[in-house]
Amino acid sequence: MSQINQIQEELRQIEGGRFQTLANQYLYRRYSLNNIIELGSQCGTDKTTTGVPDMYSVGENGHYLFAAYTTSNSDIRNKLLNDAKDCLDRSKTGINPQLIDRIILCHTYFRLSPLVLEEVRAIDPRIEIIGPETIASDLDGKYPALAHTVLGVPLGKGSFIAPDRFIERSLNDRFSTDLSKLLMHRDSEFSVIVESIEQNKAVVIQGQSGSGKTKIALDACLLFSKRHHWDLLILDSRYSSHLDDDIELILSESENIILLVDDANGNLSLEHLLGICLENKKLKIVLTCRKMHRSELTAKIGSYLNFREIELEPLTAENIEAILETEYNIKNIALRERVSAIANGNLRLAIMAASPIADGNFEAIQEPYDLLNIYMNSALAGYSSREQRLAEILAIYDCCDLIEGDPCYEDLLGLGYDDAEIRDFASRLNDQEIVTILTSAGGVLAIRMEEQNLRDFLICRHFAKEGNGSFADFILHTAEMPNAPYLKAAKSMAEVCGSASVYDYLRRECEKAWDEIKNRDERIADQFIITFNQLLPVQALAFASNRIESAACADVSEEILGMNSTSDGSMPLHISVSLMNSSEYSQTASELFVKCVERGTERAAEYNWACGQDGAFAYDFDRTGFDLENSKLDALAQKYQQSHSRNVAACLIVLTSSYLSSRVQRVRQNGITYTYNTLIFNFTSELAELHAHCFRALSVLVETEFSRQVRSTFRQHFSFYGKEPEAEHAENMHSVLSMIEDLFPKYISEDSTIDLSCSLSINQIYETCAQNPPLSLDGFRQSTFDALGLENSESLVEKEPRISAEELPLERLTEALGKLAEDYEISDKEWESGRAIGKVLLEIAKRTPDTASSIIARNIASSPSTIPVPYEALDHLAETIGRKVLRNELGAVIDVSDHPALFDYLDLLAIKNGPDKEELDEILARLDDGRTHLCLEDLEIVEPKHPGYILKYASRFSERTHNDGVWRFFGNCGDEKRVSALDSYFGSNPLPAINLYFLALEGRPSFDYNLAFLRCLLRLDSSMIDRFLEYAASLDYRQRHDLLRRISSFWTVQDNRAWNLLKALIDEVLSEPLGRFEIAALFPVRDANALSSDIFWERLEYIIRERIADANSLDRISWALSDCNDEARVRAITLILSLDKDGISINDLDLRRSSMSGSPEKGFIPAKLKEIEAIESIAAQLPAGVEYLKHREWLLKVRSSIERDIEDEKWRLFHGRQ
């Protein structure tokens, strides 16, 4: 029975009190109410009482929502009528009916008559009636957790569990702590987490093992759920073969759900889960993970969602001691003190160990492992030593397949365990939820370790404590496996059982393994030494140095400065960045880092990682100063002065950018560390010193090829919005500037508006801080001040000084023009300076029209060709001195070929004012330069008085042009007037327009984006089809694919000539050997309207019938339609199979989506299940009869193949392979 059917059945049988409980919570969620008052329910029970209405809610405007409920099945009409009238009866409610905004009547009567519905609603338009069908649909799709809580309907297939079940399981779990206990000594952290959930869609809580992440996350989610009436679900951390199904079933359409994902690093369908969260706006997610898995988890989450990350600090020994006394009744003070001190903040360890030894000898407890050992020995007492040894092997590998060749299985066989013994023990562990087992379609049993606390203990015991195996041998044995198990094992030992003896053991074993592993495949060696560089610092530095020495040098500076992406894939950079944080090896690592940068042996993205936000700052966030950061700056600056290496300069620029933006901060408050995706340091005197150090380091690049960039960095850093900076911002900037006043002449040295603006900003910063301005402005000319004032007047930001062109005398206006022209070549100043130039030239034109043209001519002639055309000034002069005089005076000074846009505008002035024959001939003559000048819309002005001029112009234009701007001649294809113009002016001779059309396509293939011009030209000349086919054949794959995709819109165009072109392309593609890769583009697979139109299916049937004997063509057609919506795809395949009575296409058709394998975001298994549904629909729609039996048999085979794929996918996910 489907879930919605179960809900409907429960509603059919529900009694009144329980229905009121359900309806109250349902309406609270459905209408996002802020409050509800239940008059019809007895508090704390599922019993009813008399009340009118049964429930009401008061809105912010003081108006009411009333609700009445009934489970009556005998006289539903009268019950609904009476409920409605009662809600409007002031004598029964005490409320003025005008204050009621909405009246909701909920009932459980199935198949309510529309006559009853309308009769009740006729009483008042505010009445809404909600029946069991609607309630069931909403509970199924939007509120499944509510259906589970109130009706007992299962939550999907078991991957999600309710909070009470989660807490209950913790009580029965021998290897975890009791989640029903009070949360203690976490008040401030708890408040921060709840606030984070309120403000963010996703929250990540990470910390060391045993810090209490699960408990604090659960309590925070419970509080949020209670406060907002959201449903809380918990994703079971244990493997579920139905996880992908449940994610789609429970979360895809649900509303107001907060999801807790405990131990999220082990979740096997995390991308699918995050993809659903991204799409569902009414879903929040809280994830916990161990600190050692934090990096990979947050990287994965960050690619989908913005999130807030919270690091939960370990509890102090004093707090742990207090919890042991109050919550676990440990009275022995000496025991509490010893356990709390050795637990090292791991509350779970302390709790597990304290109870078993409350009355025993605890003097032997020396390290965290001893605590874990005491408890685990007690928990494992029911297992023989042989069984415990078997469990150890399972733990160190994490996953085991009972098949020849599996490393874990081979090890077990070598230790004398037989297959039956392993299977029997795994079955027992599975029953106890310590492991999960799965059997593949081929009968292979797989075992997956689920109990992480036990796993940590067994690994440490196996290797570090009892010497049951050599960790060095384990490294060498598993290094080449996917997700090499030794990495996870090492993290478990270090984080959970970490002590001096454990670390010493790991170091010795890693030394043994390194001697061999360094000579293995580069990827394997790099992975190992990056992981253990802190344990083997000398070996790591030597290995990285050798790699750098042996690699080819390269100049990658331009790529470094031009690339935004980062990659942490460089072993030498990883090693040097990591060990620069070590006091003993910092200097050596720094020298290695600089050497690696200078030689350019790594990829640009890897240098961006090392110098960017992730690698720039030291790892120790408890520091108050920035000694390491300053030493990095000094090392790079000194190396550049010695070598002038462009790579060093580029990395220095990236590094200072990271420091000046001051990101990657962790702010500790009340024992908690919380961070955002973009993290910012609080501004302190130490940070001011770091910023000043940045500019000292950058100063070595001032007189180099990087001068423009570093000066720009300086100016931007000390700029601000508005006329003056805010006081706090000014103080911060002044604290930096006061330390680098001796560098001002280096960064500010030119008589330019940008240097003047920077000087004014710095002086304003000092004045805001009540300090004397440090910079004299005497070195700047008046024209620089005027140009800056004119630009500021055009700026959208309030800046000073501001000057309008009307305020300045003519002499200062003409002098300012030169500065404005210089600024126009600076990208950041282009907009303001361009507008200012136009205003200045207009003012000059108004004041001195007789000489203005020569001033404009000189200004434009001495400026770059991109200088904006002064349209307003030209319009004014054309009216005052005449357009011909203006053209002659400008033409005498300015070369037409240097500034074609200027003379194009002069041509337009002539056209708008009625050109004579000489001007028209001159316009035609200008076409000889091969450029695009005028568009069809401009020429239409001429056509009435000079018939045929457009055709004449177009003919000459098509013969002479050789640039990429021909598309401008046509205008916007979305403008019907532009399209009809082709009909009007080229009906008698379409060839010039056709020639120009193909020239336009060469310059801009997508200019005719809706193909309106193409359809018009097809109507004018049927030979256009052949020429268009030739053009399409000449395109590269990307361009051709885009063109075919746009032409697919012709499926539903009534014009047969457009359809003939599409049909010709389809025939061509179906006949080509590689046509399979293009055919899909010619079908409107994403256009739902086209796929539902009759004309599409009529034409598709025509094509299928035409090629019914060609299995290859039918295969390509089915492949083309494989990514349509399911309804269209099923219809298309059914159509092919129905017409193909002989079964020629069987085994050739593409029954499955080309994208049917799914994706991490959408889930893999749900996509395959949809394929099965589609195949079942095809089989159901096939005609009956013996001749279609072979078709149905084939469909069954395909279905079986998909089912095997699903089993394979479950196997893959079980092994943690995304």
Output the DSSP codes for 598-612.
HHT-S-HHHHHHHHS
Please, which pLDDT band fits residue 959 given cuts at 50, 70 and 90? Answer: very high
- 781 Cβ contact partners less than 8 Å away, ≥ 6 residues apart: 751
Q: How confident is the model at residue 666 (pLDDT cuts 50, 70, 90)?
A: very low
What's the CATH number where 109 sits? 3.40.91.50
More confident residue, 252 or 932: 932
**441 in the same domain as 423:** yes
Instruction: Inform me whether the pLDDT recorded for 1217 exceeds 60.
Output: no
Express each pLDDT in 26-49 by its tens digit: 999 899 898 889 887 777 666 778
Does 856 fall in a domain? yes
Mean pLDDT of 1017-1038: 93
Q: Pick the most confident of 100-109, 267-276, 348-357.
A: 100-109
Q: pLDDT digit string (tens) for 788-798?
A: 999 888 877 77
Do both 209 and 263 map to the same domain? Answer: yes
738 SS3 class: coil
* Residue 164: count of CB within 10 angstroms of its CB: 10
3-state secondary structure of 1056: helix
Torsion of CA 292, 298, 299, 304, to 10 degrees: 160
Task: Indicate the pLDDT class of residue 275, thresholds 50, 70 and 90.
Answer: confident
Is the CB of residue 87 less than 8 Å from the CB of residue 101?
no
Angle, vertex CA 803, rays to CA 798 and CA 808, nearest 5: 175
Based on the fold, state whether residues 365 and 385 are members of the same structural domain.
no
At 676 the pLDDT is: 33
Enclosing domain of residue 885 = 783-913
Q: Is the Cα dihedral 487, 492, 493, 498 positive or negative?
A: positive
Distances (CA, A) of 910 to 874, 890, 938, 1065, 1088: 12, 15, 11, 45, 50
Q: C-alpha angle with apex 1136: 1132 to 1142, nearest 5 degrees?
A: 165
Better-scored residue on pLDDT, 784 or 353: 784
Cite the beta strand spans of 194-230 per DSSP E: 202-207
Report the 3 state secondary structure along 427-487. HHHHHCCCEEEEECCCCCEEEEECCHHHHHHHHHHHHHHCCCCCHHHHHHHHCCCCCCHHH
**What's the rounded mean pLDDT across residues 1086-1114?**
94
User: For residue 303, what pLDDT is reported?
Assistant: 83
Residue 667 pLDDT: 32
- Is 426 in a helix, a strand, or coil? helix
Residue 531 CB contacts under 8 Å (≥ 6 apart), including other chains: 487, 490
Residues 162 and 295 in one domain: yes
CA dihedral sign, ordered 483, 484, 485, 489: negative
Strands 100-107, 127-130: pairing kind: parallel
The DSSP symbol for 532 reads: T
pLDDT at 379 over 80: no
Mean pLDDT of 634-653: 97
Whole-number Å distance between alpha carbons of 1114 and 219: 59
Percent of the chain with pLDDT strictly greater than 70: 95
> Stretch 485-514: mean pLDDT, rounded?
89
Tokens of 1197: 């085979």
Residues 773, 790 within the same domain: no
**Half-sphere exposure at residue 665, Cβ-oriented, CA atoms within 13 angstroms:** 18
Q: With contact defined as beta carbons under 8 Å apart, do 838 and 871 qualify?
A: yes
Lowest mean pLDDT among 376-385, 726-735, 1086-1095: 376-385
What is the SS3 assignment for 771? coil
pLDDT tens digits along 1202-1213: 898 888 888 888
SS3 breakdown of the chain: % helix, strand, coil, rounded to 5? 60, 5, 35
Let me know if residue 957 belongs to a domain: no
Distance CA 308, CA 208 (A): 18
3-class SS letters over 1191-1213: HHHHHHHHHHHHHHHHHHHHHHH
| Last residue in a domain, options 379, 399, 424 | 379
Does residue 471 carry a pLDDT above 60? yes
What is the Cα–Cα distance from 1208 to 340, expressed in whole angstroms? Answer: 47
Whether residue 225 contacts residue 232, with contact meaning beta carbons closer than 8 Å, is answered with yes
Kindly report, residue by residue over 942-954, the tens digit of the pLDDT.
Answer: 999 999 999 999 9
**How do residues 566-590 score in pLDDT, each as one tens digit?**
888 899 999 999 999 888 999 999 9
CB 812 within 8 A of CB 786: yes
Identify whether 915 is preceded by a cis peptide bond (ω within 30 of 0): no
The answer to whether residue 546 scores a pLDDT higher than 50 is: yes
Q: Which helix (H) or strand (E) holds 130?
A: strand 127-130
Give residue 137's pLDDT: 92
Q: What is the pLDDT of residue 671?
A: 35
DSSP string, 706-725: THHHHHHHHHHHT--SSSS-
More confident: 82 or 1123:
82
Q: Above 90 in pLDDT, residue 600?
A: yes
Q: Does residue 1023 sit within a domain? A: no
| SS3 label, residue 203 | strand
Q: How far is CA 336 from the centre of its chain?
A: 47
Among the residue ranges 156-160, 976-980, 1024-1028, 1152-1156, the one predicted with the least confidence is 1152-1156
Rounded Cα gap, residues 604 and 564, in angstroms: 10
Under the banding of pLDDT at 50, 70 and 90, the label for residue 229 is confident
Listed residue (1140, 1134, 1143, 1150) closest to 1182, CA to CA: 1134
Residue 1159 pLDDT:
64
Same domain assignment for residues 166 and 267 = yes
According to the model, what pLDDT value does residue 360 have? 57
Phi, psi angle pair for 165, to nearest 5°: -70, -40
Q: Among the listed ranges 86-100, 681-695, 1039-1053, which one has the minimum average pLDDT value?
A: 681-695
Mean pLDDT of 493-510: 87
Q: Is the pLDDT of residue 1157 over 70?
A: no
The pLDDT value recorded for residue 962 is 85
For 57, list phi and psi in degrees, rounded to 5.
Answer: -135, 145
**SS3 at position 399:** strand
Q: How confident is the model over 296-332, as pLDDT tens digits?
A: 888 888 888 889 999 888 888 888 888 888 877 878 7
Please tell me the total count of domains within the chain.
8
Nearest-CA neighbor of 787 among 818, 831, 762, 827?
Answer: 818
Residues 525 and 583 both lie in one domain: no
User: Measuring CA to CA, which residue among 662, 656, 742 is closest to residue 706?
Assistant: 656
Instruction: Determine how β-strand 55-58 pairs with β-strand 64-70.
Output: antiparallel
80 or 798, greater pLDDT: 80
Q: What is the DSSP string of 36-48?
A: -EESSB-TTSS-B
Q: Is 961 part of a structural domain of the chain?
A: no
Q: Three-class SS string for 682-693?
A: CCCHHHHHHHHH
Q: What is the mean pLDDT of the chain?
A: 88
Could you say which DSSP state residue 154 is in? Answer: -
Which pLDDT score is estimated for 44? 64
- Asked if the model's pLDDT at residue 285 lies above 70, the reply is yes
- Which of 339, 362, 379 terminates a domain? The answer is 379
Say whether pLDDT at 1154 is over 70: no
pLDDT in tens, 185-203: 888 899 999 999 999 999 9
Weakest mean pLDDT among 30-39, 139-148, 342-351, 948-957: 342-351
Last residue of a domain, one of 313, 333, 348: 313
Percent of the chain with pLDDT over 90: 59
**pLDDT for the residue 339:** 79
Query: Which pLDDT band, with edges at 50, 70 and 90, does 1161 fall under?
Result: low
**Better-predicted residue by pLDDT, 249 or 117:** 117
For residue 943, being part of any structural domain is answered with: no
Sign of the torsion angle spanned by Cα atoms 684, 686, 687, 693: positive
What sign has the CA pseudo-torsion 716, 721, 726, 728?
Answer: negative
Q: Are 620 and 684 in contact (CB under 8 A)?
A: no
Residues in Cβ contact with 1059 at an 8 Å cutoff, skipping those fewer than 6 apart: 1050, 1051, 1053, 1099
Q: Is 955 contained in some domain?
A: no
The pLDDT tens digits of the residues spanning 900-931 come to 899 999 999 999 989 999 999 999 999 999 89
Asked if 172 and 299 sit in the same domain, the reply is yes
Q: How far apart are CA 555 and CA 541, in angstroms?
A: 23
Closest CA to 631 of 575, 680, 676, 589: 589
pLDDT tens for each residue of 775-787:
999 999 999 999 9
- pLDDT grade, residue 665 (50/70/90)? very low
Please write the tens of the pLDDT for every residue from 414-458: 999 999 999 999 999 998 888 999 998 889 999 999 888 889 889
Query: In this predicted model, what pLDDT tens digit does every residue of 807-839 receive, in sequence order?
Result: 999 999 999 998 999 888 888 888 999 999 999
What are the residues whose beta carbons fall under 8 Å from the beta carbon of 525, sequence distance 6 or more? 517, 518, 519, 543
- Residues 274, 360, single domain; the answer is no
Whether residue 292 is found in the same domain as residue 369: no
Do 487 and 498 fall within a single domain? yes
pLDDT attached to residue 1165: 81
Helices 485-496 and 471-478: crossing angle, nearest 10°?
A: 150
Report, as an integer, the average pLDDT of 10-22: 91
Q: What is the pLDDT of residue 361?
A: 56
pTM exceeds cut of 0.85: no
Tell me phi and psi for residue 315, to 5 degrees: -70, 150
Specify whether the CB–CB gap between 1018 and 1058 falls below 8 A: yes
Q: What is the reported pLDDT for 675?
A: 36
Bond before 801 cis per omega within 30 degrees: yes
Q: Is residue 950 part of a domain?
A: no
Whether residue 540 lies inside any domain: the answer is yes
Mean pLDDT lowest for which of 198-207, 229-238, 315-324, 329-338? Answer: 329-338
Same domain, 46 and 128: yes
